Amino acid sequence: MGKYFGTDGIRGMANRDLKPDLVMKVGQAIGYTTRREKVGRPVILVGRDTRLSADMMEAALIAGLTSTGCDVVLAGVIPTPAAPFLATTLQLDFSIIISASHNPMPDNGIKCFSSHGFKLFEETEREMEEIVDSGLPGDFILPAGADVGKIIPLFDALQRYEFYVQSRATYRFDGLTIALDCANGSTSKVAHNIFSNLGARVITINDHPTGLNINDGCGATHPEILQSLVKCGKFDVGLAFDGDGDRVIAVDEKGEIVDGDGLMNIFSLYSKGSGLLNNRILVATVMSNMGLELSLKKAGMRLIRTDVGDRNVVLKMLEEDAILGGEQSGHIVFLRDSTTGDGIITALHLLEVLKETGRKMSDLARTLTYYPQALRNLPVKNKSALLGDERYIGFIKEKEQSLKDKYRILVRPSGTEPMVRVMAEGPDGESTAKLVDEICDFLARIDNA
């Protein structure tokens, strides 16, 4: 992780960590590096989620981009995966989404995609950080007059994305009744249309964003309301998106959660049976449950793990020629459809499995047996220094040696927040939770010393 860029772009509290002057400098850094690779005037797409601070962030970012001579295609509120889709189909040079994804409303962020629709390499991010801190190179002259960039509104951005997603469906969904939770975010104006146009009976909640209520007790990180709705109603499945629409969590007809691991298991087994998985490989992260790995192995498939972050997943997918990958959190990537995680496309493919197999969601979910897993997010003062402390290194090494082959331990810094994530898997829930608590207590003592 760099100074500003984490595992998924830049993120922090708007107008505190991400002040307008910093955002403008980020825009200039993006504009400069894009211009350097382009003959002529670059054209960059900018979209946003529904946060109140997005107006401020958008204005500052556009100022930075246009001041370096880049034109800006303004897409408005769109799901994150719509940005690389629009940029590639319109043959633009770069795309940006202003969003903090699943984070609370006070936060905001900047997600960047290349002209090919993929998230940036770390080397590019480091170069941009240097420009943000040191300023534009001395030999770069800011344009003036007719050379200053302009704004080009893209009024039909959502309609273009909606039409594309619908075109990826193999079946109509007549006869299916589904509940959607849009987290009062970017999917609020498009998700209902897509699934109802494909024939499903759709009930949608949390689809009235005010700028203040994004992810507020709803969506993929808080699916409790959706669980109650599905459990009390006659729904085939519930689908909870996060604030920017790049992830989804499912709820079966009994109100039970099916996370990203459960969804990837369903897709892998279904794809294997239908011949859609070309090399029997699923790419997931170190956070995915051991049960997923064993399920795939039993079915003659292989799980390849990467570091956390859907960018890492996609890079490994390209390296291994895989077409399916994702994260436990619900970021699922179908490379035949999208260059990044797309909650709506993932939901679409899940409904296809339900329609094709005729099985209930709970029946499909039972194909994965989870190993007990415990996870705690520990707020810390300095995550890098803490995890590099010799006392911690010695402690965790001793633990891993004594618990070998019985537990899996993963401790990593958050890429977006000032905290350390401590995860363990083991033979039973109680001992696994105690192990996580023991690690967190040790880390907290070092952090507070």
Kind of pairing between the strands at 373-379 and 408-413: unpaired
CB 240 within 8 A of CB 251: yes
Give the three-state DSSP class for 285: strand
In the sheet that holds 281-285, the strands lie side by side as 302-306, 281-285, 324-326, 332-334
Give the three-state DSSP class for 389: coil
CB 65 within 8 A of CB 27: yes
Contacts of residue 256, defined as CB under 8 A and 6 or more positions apart, other chains included, come to 227, 362, 365
Tokens of 188: 């609020």
- Residue 203: CB atoms within 10 A of its CB come to 15
> Dihedral through CA 427, CA 433, CA 434, CA 440, nearest 10?
130
- Write down the catalytic residue from 101, 186, 338, 414: 101
Question: Distance (Å, rounded) from C-alpha 400 to C-alpha 394?
Answer: 10
Active site residue 101: yes
- From 215, 225, 221, 245, select the one nearest 105 (Cα to Cα): 215
Kind of pairing between the strands at 71-77 and 43-48: parallel
Question: Distance (Å, rounded) from C-alpha 102 to C-alpha 222?
Answer: 10
Residues serving a catalytic function are 101
